[in-house]
């Protein structure tokens, strides 16, 4: 695997700016990959890796840049929990680790860079050098990934009985004896005008 500095540089370019979230995401990814036995996430190990991210913030871009996992490849899944955490899964072995950024690390960053007045700058610099057990908590877990969420071709594709749209990856719902899309089932995020 590449060095932290190189991975952070790549992540920063993809994300558009350097921030503490980038540092957290890069370090989290490096540690997660190491703990589940993935050495070459963008090469020979790419089909063995699956990542579940729990937040849609800066760290997720860093995780994607380091691991090569993405929503489009179906090797990354966003779990809308709002927690700065990710679970790294080795699909071949089943080994999985959930890594959470510790809230206390924000306050601890002051001890590493007390001369920096800006707390965001303190965090950015401190997170680069802070011991992993001060920055993260680790849980060995068993990840429950439904077959419909696995990478690869869709398991099925069905047409909505109401609007006619095609629904893939088991996202359809049954309602009143009909197979419908989630929008027709009342989960529409838009209004047709």
- Name all domains of the chain by residue range, CATH numbers in brackets: 4-148 (3.30.1330.130), 153-187 (3.30.60)
Cα(73)–Cα(51) distance, integer angstroms: 11
Token pair recorded at residue 50: 């699956």
**Would you call 80 exposed, middle or buried from its count of C-beta atoms within 10 A (0-12, 13-18, 19+)?**
exposed
Beta strands in the chain (DSSP E): 49-53, 76-78, 85-90, 96-101, 136-141, 157-159, 166-168, 173-175, 178-180
Whether the CB-CB separation of 157 and 167 falls below 8 Å is answered with: yes
Overall size of the chain counted in residues: 193
Whether the CB-CB separation of 59 and 28 falls below 8 Å is answered with: yes
Cα(26)–Cα(66) distance, integer angstroms: 6
Q: Which residues contact 156 (CB under 8 A, 6 or more apart)?
A: 168, 169, 170
pLDDT tens by residue, the chain, 193 residues: 799 999 999 999 999 999 999 999 999 999 999 999 999 999 999 999 999 999 999 999 999 999 999 999 999 999 999 999 999 999 999 999 999 999 999 999 999 999 988 999 999 999 999 999 999 999 999 999 999 999 999 989 999 999 999 999 999 999 999 999 999 999 999 998 9
Q: What does 124-136 look like in DSSP terms, one character per residue?
A: HHHHHHS-HHHHE
């Amino acid at each position: 695997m590449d060095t932290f500095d190189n991975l952070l540089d790549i992540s920063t370019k993809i994300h558009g700016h350097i921030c503490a979230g980038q540092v957290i995401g890069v370090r989290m990814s490096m540690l997660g990959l190491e703990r589940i036995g993935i050495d070459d996430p963008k090469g020979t190990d790419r089909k063995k890796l699956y990542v579940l991210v729990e937040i849609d913030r800066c760290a997720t871009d860093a995780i994607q840049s380091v691991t090569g996992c993405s929503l489009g490849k179906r090797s990354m899944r966003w779990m809308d929990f709002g927690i700065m955490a990710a679970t790294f899964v080795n699909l071949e072995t089943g080994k999985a680790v959930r890594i959470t950024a510790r809230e206390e690390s924000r306050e601890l960053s002051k001890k590493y860079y007390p001369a920096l007045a800006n707390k965001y700058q303190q965090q950015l610099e401190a997170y680069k050098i802070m011991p992993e057990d001060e920055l993260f908590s680790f849980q060995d877990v068993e990840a429950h990934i439904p077959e419909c969420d696995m990478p690869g071709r869709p398991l099925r594709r069905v047409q909505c009985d109401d609007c006619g749209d095609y629904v893939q990856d088991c996202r359809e719902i049954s309602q009143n004896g009909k197979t419908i899309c989630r929008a027709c089932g009342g989960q529409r995020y838009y209004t047709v005008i």
